[in-house]
Amino acid sequence: MLLNSYGQPTILKDDETNASSLEWRDAPMILCHKDSIFERYFPKYWKGTLYSSEAIINSVIQSNDQVPWTVPYKSIPLLPSEVFNITLKDGNKIKLTMIPLFENMMFIIEDEYVKSIVTDNLTPKDLYHLTHQKIVRDRINEGIDVLYINDAAYQELEKNDKNPSKFLLRSIAHTVQPAFIKGYFNNPLPQSLLDCCSTHN
């Protein structure tokens, strides 16, 4: 997914990938799993910087002839649980931390005011590993402002086993207890999920 000028993760729709969309052309990209590049829309002339694990980046490089963009880009492999400072296009600064789970990655994004957890695909084993990460427990204890989730499970579409189930989404929301939950596809979220937010307690 791409980060906007405020460091908020965004999954684009097909009509937002136009090359004239300068906001996304140079936007940083984070990948939670190696197949994301084949499952999401990206600008054809994207030329920003890719941040992820070394294994995921190497997988993307090996698939360079299949990626949806056509111009050179930069990539920076992140070390697990280490904070990486990024200056965004408008001068906003964020701290990016990659958290390896079992099958996928998760990211913590922090700026001066907001602390967010960014997820995409999740498995039950991912959730188990999440709760055993000290840095994640510490951030949760400090308080998470926003939990970003892949809310495709709430779309009336054909089931995709790669998307997290409603049960998994509720489990991670209950674990993190953020102030707010935001889904990438802007589907109406059920009250049972929203009740996991700290602002509802």
Q: Which residue has the higher pLDDT, 198 or 95?
A: 95
- For residue 19, pLDDT beyond 50: no
Residue 201 has pLDDT above 70, yes or no: no
Q: Per-residue pLDDT for 129 more than 80?
A: yes
pTM reported for the whole predicted model? 0.91
When pLDDT is cut at 50, 70 and 90, the band that residue 158 belongs to is: very low
Mean pLDDT throughout 168-187?
A: 93
| pLDDT of 11 strictly over 70 | yes
Q: Which residue did the predictor score with more confidence, 132 or 87?
A: 87
Neighbours of 133 (CB within 10 A): 17
pLDDT for res 154: 82
> Residue 108: its pLDDT value, please?
97
Walk me through the domains of the chain, giving residue ranges and CATH numbers: 2-200 (3.60.15)
Phi, psi torsion values for 49, nearest 5 degrees: -115, 130
Q: Which residue has the higher pLDDT, 149 or 103?
A: 149
- CB atoms < 10 A from the CB of 192, how many? 11
With cut-offs at 50, 70 and 90, classify the pLDDT of residue 157: low
What pLDDT, in 10s, does the model give residues 106-127? 999 999 999 999 999 888 999 9
pLDDT for res 15: 63
77 close to 57: Cβ distance less than 8 angstroms: yes
Quick one: pLDDT at residue 179? Answer: 97
Q: Buried (b) or exposed (e) across 70-102, using 16+ Cβ within 10 A? A: eeeeebeebeeeeeeebebeeeeebebbbbbbe
